[in-house]
Homo-oligomer: A and B are copies of this chain.
Amino acid sequence: MNSFAIGVDLGGTNLRIAAVNASGGVLEKVSTDAEVTRGRDYVLDEMCKNVSAMAGKFGGAGRAVGIGIGVPGIIDRQTGMVHESPNLPGWRDYPVRDEIERRLRTNVILENDANAAALGEKWLGVASQVDDLCMLTLGTGVGGGLVLQGKIWHGMTGMAGELGHITVDPHGVKCGCGNYGCLEQYASATAVKRMASEAVARGEAPELARAMNRDPEFSAKAIYQMAVESDEAALKIFRKVGQALGIALANMINILNLPMYVIGGGMANAWDVFAPALLDQVQKRSFVYTATAREDIMRIEKNSPSSAQTRTTAIARASLGSDAGLLGAARLAMIASVDPSRPEPNHASAGVGSGH
């Protein structure tokens, strides 16, 4: 019997939903404008409505085995609640999983979005040939996910993979988490904009200053464009991005000795301008890397020979783009549906949303 799962990516700006079959084929994908700023109940209503419609549409083609939801926060997997998420005010201590299970009458898995993205890249992306990987997602913040022996590594309380808060400079910029010099303060889109403003304020970046005056909404993407056009101040910012990533990655390589480290998220689009500094730092700072490195940063294509077979350390750009989390979330629902140790849903599964 054909089966499929629903993957949901609950982003800061929109809600994306896909029906995904067992081999990773996307049957349908929708993106709604359900901004989280419109509140928990509105987002949950939209989510359930869209999931239900999608499941109904494909109900004739097979069975929906469950729903996986990537959430930008720390999940308490025992209670199915969002434990901590600055991006989801009002969601804390609310029984998210149970409520969705109640409404849609099927298994629901909540997962941190970066963890889901790491699993997505392992399933269908650049990391499909390895069992162990670390993924950094560079966006507004910096998220992280670890997959060890094919499974997401959650740690004791679901807080593993907080890679954006690795200290890359103990005397560095203050972070929202309380620490100084977190990776997130140097390698997120937010950090790129901050570093650009600082360079402008120091009078070191005339082109950046002009561009900022023209466009108050000046984005990290625009700064990247200037770096591509060889603006020295913009290039310097992305060198800093690469250096910070390199320090953090060197640490992870020395600690974990994994075959692959994946860099994704929107900021990964600036790969060309930060990767050289990243590689330089990793080579200088990790003898585990140099003992296992290829000559150059790998841009591994899907289905290429695996680095695990060749026992080299690969640092690779993610290949699934913004779909990684969506696909990883769907994959989680599939895994749970065949895992005898999964918790019982609160309500007997009768197909997603049927009879609703």
The closest CB in chain B to the CB of A250 belongs to B167
Number of interface residues of A (CB under 8 A): 47
Residues from chain B with a CB closer than 8 A to the CB of A167 are 168, 247, 250-251, 285
Residues from chain B with a CB closer than 8 A to the CB of A158 are 257
Contact with B along A260-289 (1 / 0, CB 8 A): 000000000000000000000000111110
Which residue in B146, B178, B247 is a CB contact (below 8 Å) of A170?
A: B247
Residue among A166, A180, A313 facing the most chain B CB atoms (10 A cut-off):
A166
Rounded to whole angstroms, the CA-CA distance of A158 and B258 in the bound complex is 10
Of the stretches A21-29, A148-156, A208-216, the one at the interface is A148-156
Distance (Å) between the CB of A151 and the closest chain B CB?
10
Rounded to whole angstroms, the CA-CA distance of A157 and B290 in the bound complex is 12
Does A254 contact B156, Cβ atoms closer than 8 Å?
Answer: no
Residue among A132, A157, A287 facing the most chain B CB atoms (10 A cut-off):
A287
Does B251 contact A157, Cβ atoms closer than 8 Å?
Answer: no
Does A284 contact B156, Cβ atoms closer than 8 Å?
Answer: no
Mind listing 21 A-B residue pairs with CB under 8 Å?
A: A132-B155, A148-B153, A154-B257, A155-B256, A155-B257, A156-B292, A157-B257, A157-B288, A157-B292, A159-B292, A161-B257, A162-B257, A165-B285, A165-B286, A166-B251, A168-B170, A169-B170, A179-B285, A179-B287, A180-B284, A255-B256
